[in-house]
Amino acid sequence: GSLAQAKVLGTSSIVVVDPATETTLVDRRGGAPAIPASTQKILTAVAALEALGPSTRLDTIAYRVGQRLCPQW
């Protein structure tokens, strides 16, 4: 089976927004509360908010292969 569907990974969520139009392209449980994968990410997010400000947006490139959404790390 697909790694994205493996139950051991728990429940994930994703929201993809077109920055030019602000149109939501993908929203899978984007509004659902979630536990962070690690507390280090919380510290990183707080540091980024402090250094860059709340209006800063960071890009994550993603592309679609058929029906599958593929993030590009």
Structure confidence by residue, pLDDT tens digits, 23-48: 998 888 888 887 767 777 777 888 88
More confident residue, 10 or 68: 68
Question: Do the Cβ atoms of 62 and 70 come closer than 8 Å?
Answer: yes
Model pLDDT, residue 51? 92
Question: Do the Cβ atoms of 31 and 20 come closer than 8 Å?
Answer: no
Model pLDDT, residue 52? 92
Model pLDDT, residue 67? 73
More confident residue, 65 or 8: 65
Between CA 70 and CA 61 the distance in angstroms is 9
Given pLDDT bands bounded at 50, 70 and 90, which one contains residue 13?
confident
Between CA 67 and CA 6 the distance in angstroms is 18
Between CA 41 and CA 68 the distance in angstroms is 26
